[in-house]
Amino acid sequence: MSELTAETIIRRVAVALDASAQNSQALQAAAELAASLQAELEGIFIEDINLIRLTELPFIREIRPASMTEEPFNIQRMEQELRSLARQQQQKLELVAREKGISCSFSIRRGHIRAEMMEVVTEVDVLTLCGPGRVSEIFSRQPAAFTLRADTTARQQARSAVSVVFGNARNEKRALMAAASLAKRLDTNINVLITAGSDAETDELQREAETILESQTQPVNYSRLIGNQLSDLVLATISSNSQVLLVNSNNTLITGEQLWHCLEQVSCPVLIVREQIAGN
């Protein structure tokens, strides 16, 4: 995969972490991609400013389970809790990085979750996100299919895929090649979701994708997003049993509020691949 690595020039794969418990799947996906490209794994812990502002409300109390007593929950206490959570996330990141044999870094930001994440997208090569409240549901329903490991039983039951949105060969080649690298590491299929307005455009994009992926040994499936709508993308990831979904940062399917709707609906981590800038 050295040719792909050289061409995609992905050096930093970041994963957004916060105070929720919905980080494990995103962290695993980011680590696998970083390992496949020998890129740096970067954990970014975001202190949600809204949580901190809650402590300014006079009726916020902390209930201690052991004694069932109430105490005021002030900003100092919240900051202490967030620092503790950050340390836990950093330890998880460092453990995963050691297991994968890759370098890692960790930083802390404070602000509005969405605004901070969109800022990170402009700074790193790949940002890995996972929708809130979905991971526990996914693991309880079908644990083996979403562990991002090449589990033989899971593969026999339903061949999973690394899905990637492809609608512009010039701008989205990087995402396509990163998906190929990740699929090879996970020993799984590549599912290319083509966004095109007509059958002729679809055929042309498929030919371009086939040229880019001509050296790949992993099975490749091509399908067209007929409506080019977010709902079509969600259905495509479900029907292909997607382990991860890669999308170019400028793709209209995930810009603005569409990204957050996507995260809420898809049942896998979403990797936002920043469009390569000349000279980078």
pLDDT of residue 191: 95
CA 85 to chain centre: 20
CATH code, domain with 188: 3.40.50.12370
Does residue 59 fall inside a structural domain?
no
Counting residues of the chain whose pLDDT is more than 70, the rounded percentage is 76
pLDDT tens for each residue of 99-121:
999 999 999 999 988 888 889 98
Does residue 219 fall inside a structural domain?
yes
Amino acid in the structure at residue 278? A
Residue, of 235 and 97, whose pLDDT is higher: 97
Q: Is the pLDDT of residue 134 over 60?
A: no
Does residue 62 fall inside a structural domain?
no
Q: What is the mean pLDDT of residues 121-142?
A: 63
Question: Please, what's the b/e burial string for 95-108 (b: 16 or more CB within 10 A of its CB; e: otherwise)?
Answer: ebbeebebebebee
Helices vs. strands in the chain: H and E counts, helices first: 11, 11
Does residue 68 fall inside a structural domain?
no
Does residue 107 fall inside a structural domain?
yes
pLDDT of residue 71: 63
Does residue 206 fall inside a structural domain?
yes
pLDDT tens for each residue of 5-59:
444 578 999 999 876 666 788 999 999 999 999 999 999 999 888 877 776 666 5
- Give the residue numbers spanning the domain of 149: 2-50+82-273
Does residue 70 fall inside a structural domain?
no
Please report which helix (H) or strand (E) contains residue 34, including its range: helix 24-37
Number of structural domains found in the chain: 1
pLDDT of residue 73: 66
Does residue 73 fall inside a structural domain?
no
